[in-house]
Structure 1
Amino acid sequence: MATVSEIMRRSIPLLTADMSITEALDKLLASDLSGLPVVDTQRKIIGFLSEQDCIPKLINASYHCDNRVTVNDLMYKEPLTVSPNSDVFELARLMGGAKPKIYPVIEDNKVIGIVTRHQVMQFLNEQLQNCSISY
């Protein structure tokens, strides 16, 4: 069984709930990811901030130059997560539906990385290319 730990990205920026949206967006945009986990001081996940969460509020905030918005104002407070031992094929099935396309990876209640649809697709493509078909 292939596990998430084999394909996940371990080095990611983390956001905090009290972080300004401008600081969070700088981290998000620099990360090349479509969302980032929000953690407390012990790295426990308390939310998730995605590009999709940001855009509606940013329209108004940008127009009115309102930079008082924080991550807490925009984050999704009940994010779905996976463990490093999760099966990649099961995660691929979830990602094929209406579930998120990016998941924080949690171990001992702490964020240790992230896994994206892109990483899952790369893994599946490699598996397919390694198949040997006998006729």
Structure 2
Amino acid sequence: MMKACTAADIMEKVFISAHTDTSVFDLVHYFVKSKISAIPIVDDDQVLVGIVTDADLLYKKIKPHVPHYVNLLGASIYYNGIGKYHKGFKKLMACTAGDMMTKDVIIAAPEADVEQLAGVMVAEHLKVIPIVKNNRIVGIVTRYHILDELYKEFGEE
């Protein structure tokens, strides 16, 4: 390996971000259509204020609202009421990125060493690390970017 690879070398410079008032419905659309696992949430000056992951949407809000049911003589009996589930889902869709986002985001500078990034991602179970310079988000590094870099590095040996 010649010089240490940095976040700036491997980061995605074109990425989807959203504002705190972006609806969960729109976030889900971005996740599905773009096949991404996290969306940085920024203010009007592109300053990072939080992040929403696909897991945030699946676990934080939907999981408690999954209807409980029993199978009785081949028929599903919902004892929490299927209506309650639909209401819960409707309520989720009415939420915004600001309601869902994680505010304490682990970030890195463009100069951060890729090996260190990989270590933090593993230790903290992160799929994405936003890359921030002068308080503004300039890129994102995902597990894919790290794996791709490892693949290239070992392919050269």
TM-score by length of 1: 0.88
**2:20 is the alignment partner of 1:21:** no
Q: What percent identity do the matched residue pairs reach?
A: 24
- Larger Rg belongs to: 2
Match of 2:120 among 85, 94, 104: 94
Gaps of 5+ in 2: 66-83
**CA RMSD across the alignment:** 1.7
Question: Which amino acid is the alignment partner of residue 90 of structure 1?
Answer: Q
Alpha-carbon distance between aligned partners in 2 of 1:30 and 1:12, rounded to the nearest angstrom: 13
How many equivalent pairs are there?
A: 131
- Determine the structure 2 residue equivalent to 1:63: 86
Deviations 1:69-101 (A, max 9, x none): 111111101111111111011111222323412
Deviations 1:49-83 (A, max 9, x none): 00111113145497222332111111101111111
**2:98 is the alignment partner of 1:75:** no
Alpha-carbon distance between aligned partners in 2 of 1:9 and 1:30, rounded to the nearest angstrom: 17
TM-score by length of 2: 0.77
Secondary structure at the counterpart of residue 102 of structure 2: coil
Question: Structure 1 residues 46 and 26, CA, compared in 2 at 3 Å: closer, same or farther?
Answer: same
Alpha-carbon distance between aligned partners in 2 of 1:123 and 1:72, rounded to the nearest angstrom: 33
Alpha-carbon distance between aligned partners in 1 of 2:85 and 2:114, rounded to the nearest angstrom: 39
